[in-house]
Structure 1
């Protein structure tokens, strides 16, 4: 089950609106269901099923229906033929399509504001910041982790409580048409596009297509309910609200200063502080402030909430272990986010030696080695004490550059052994999720 941080707990109560939505849905399809349904939660993981659960068997989940029944599932949705005969089991043509359809109808029956966050970089941090601000005043939820695709987003909607006032949902994609589908399901009231970068070029080929994919959300919203990073060359000409450093921005950022604890900045002449490193977090925080303003929050409410913010792990996360300060930014990577992380780490005020460990950035398509070469050139531009790399793409790019400052390692354990030999060091870990560079800390 997707875990949520929220300022209230759902509790073990029947989801009356959802149960009615579910009953009406099956009635229209002329499918019989138990007359006295009492759904308490929705699960896709049989291990999380409990009495009162609706278990939706997605893909391999069809193999765990008996387990779900034993644990007390109220109803089970599957799309495979089974030997089991039980009135609680309903077979549909496609479990994923069912999940999407029922989430769409449930969302339509909720009195809630939904904020969609998309973009090539900074989605999760921006989502965390918006949630942190809005939950100061409203009953709010956000999705955690990477539940942002055609399965994760509708499942996230089904985790909403009927009393929730706001939900912040991240929208991911790997190809054209996916943001459009997620928008149809979630019907967002507000949307944020953080930037247009080089993510998913394996499928989208170029930034023009990334722009087309990310902006599919726009046709579902009033232009005054869309916030974009106005300094992005692809986004600056959109007829939406702009957040950025440009003087023409509706929400103008200025006077940004980074300290060890985070970033001080101004937004439209109001002073703020966000306890996250990297000057780019002034932009991410400004999205949160702007949404808070649009939803009627005061300066003091927003300022106080930002200073107490908590974000998802592995986003420039400081971890002290065995005398080493690790900056764990290893959740994901693209050329743009790696450049931003390198700049942030370089400017971080520290008295320690600075070591960087860079893993492969994945899904970059035919030009992936060229992109990795650009990343390494950016790393060389800064005065880091050591540059360690891991992954075959990084290796191939380094062989082209043939620079003695770059050291390739075939195993993460050897990198950790090398770091343990050093004293008074800070280490930045940055790479795609598949590289799992956080294992160096363990």
Structure 2
């Protein structure tokens, strides 16, 4: 049930340019910028600087100021005293603060509708799905890669043009207050919360705090513009549009059938197909469908956009090499996402033996070994041919379980060699980013 319609007018933009925002910002600080200043693009990587660039030197970026000048940078912002006397170099107290402040001011001048996507799992895939649907009708941008933090989000905002109609921004965090900061900068018009899980418990300690952190975005978004996973224990009581499998939701998922290429399913009695495996991706796709309807796209427009979607790599990505089918889901992991991946892999219709390779899940705090024991116990419930594990935490968990069906490896090369011996199999790779399990495919 759609309760709100977006008001988008193509070409409805304000005339002030980013350069004018920049000039006004420094004018208030009594800093005069070079005459006839005209910024064409904003960069944090000196390798990408070109004529007309504003180069913001963050962290070790200070060491590349001379390189940026040689490449034709129009203006350089840094927070260390420059050795070069060029009038193009402006020193500020803190480069990151400048980045955030100027992004906030620039966002205020844009008519672009901002959709914030947060949650413990599925943020990037949901962002990609929403962008993939909306971009077929509107000029839509999205967070590049995983630029979802205090540096990446404001940088993404600065890449927007005044003509962009929609931007889908991923918001990540590791502690309380971080989503609030990102929301202050981006001022989202819509919010999506995928779920509340066990990510970042090293810092947040428990799911109650994860819930508090993720829902900080709601201080900035109208409840009618908020979409959440309605079957989630923490999210089900929020005043928001709810998506899920239970009948109490505004958008109800049912009649799902998983095939090798993806999942066929119904949402509010309309049939869709998403070229991704796993029921969690059906939920992620349903967020995109709901937003498509909010932005007044037709059923056929949404259906056709969804079936042709392209997703960021290492999200249940299928790769065939040397007769082995790798399911590369190795970008990141939490206990919840690992269980989801195990279930999706188990349900995948294949005429192959199935091998699971699990790496450590990081940032889980004091109970990390307990979580890893739980993950391995879950893996043993399925009839996988083999279960391989990699990482210190997995080793400690295996020592507690003492199950001969699970084999621990100290080197990824050893896992690769063992898989090559096995031959014609399907292999799930799942672990935290620090594990880099995708290196097994090489």
Please say whether Structure 1 and Structure 2 have the same fold, judged by a TM-score greater than 0.5.
yes
Deviates more, 1:182-191 or 1:246-255: 246-255
Give the aligned CA root-mean-square deviation in angstroms.
0.8
Q: 2:96: which partner in 1?
A: 96
Say whether residues 1:191 and 2:166 are aligned partners.
no
Q: CA deviation at 1:40?
A: 0.9
Deviates more, 1:194-203 or 1:422-431: 422-431
Cα displacement string for residues 102-138 of structure 1 (whole angstroms, at most 9, x for unaligned residues) = 0001111011001000000000000000000000100
Question: Structure 1: how far apart are the matches of 2:317 and 2:293?
Answer: 28
Cα displacement string for residues 395-440 of structure 1 (whole angstroms, at most 9, x for unaligned residues) = 0000100000000000000100000001220000000000000000
Question: SS in structure 1 opposite 2:83?
Answer: coil
Q: How does 1:87-236 map to 2 (within 5 A)?
A: 87-236=87-236
Question: Structure 1: how far apart are the matches of 2:202 and 2:279?
Answer: 29
Q: 2:303: which partner in 1?
A: 303
TM-score for the superposition, normalised by structure 1: 0.96
Q: After TM superposition, what 4+ stretches of structure 1 lie above 4 angstroms from structure 2?
A: none
Q: 1:59: which partner in 2?
A: 59
Gaps of 5+ in 1: 1-14
Checking the alignment, whether the CA contact within 8 Å between 1:144 and 1:312 is kept in structure 2 is: no
Question: Structure 2: how far apart are the matches of 1:284 and 1:256?
Answer: 14
Question: Structure 2: how far apart are the matches of 1:138 and 1:62?
Answer: 38
Question: SS in structure 1 opposite 2:422?
Answer: coil
TM-score for the superposition, normalised by structure 2: 0.96
Q: 1:423: which partner in 2?
A: 423
Q: How does 1:274-313 map to 2 (within 5 A)?
A: 274-313=274-313
Question: SS in structure 1 opposite 2:242?
Answer: strand
Question: Structure 1: how far apart are the matches of 2:196 and 2:187?
Answer: 22
Q: CA deviation at 1:201?
A: 0.2
Q: CA deviation at 1:16?
A: 6.5
Checking the alignment, whether the CA contact within 8 Å between 1:257 and 1:279 is kept in structure 2 is: no
Q: 1:4: which partner in 2?
A: none
Q: 1:8: which partner in 2?
A: none
Cα displacement string for residues 140-196 of structure 1 (whole angstroms, at most 9, x for unaligned residues) = 111122100000000010011121111000000000000000000000000000000
Checking the alignment, whether the CA contact within 8 Å between 1:196 and 1:210 is kept in structure 2 is: yes
Cα displacement string for residues 210-264 of structure 1 (whole angstroms, at most 9, x for unaligned residues) = 0000000001111000000000000000011101111111111111111001001
- Report the count of equivalent residues: 428
Q: 2:250: which partner in 1?
A: 250
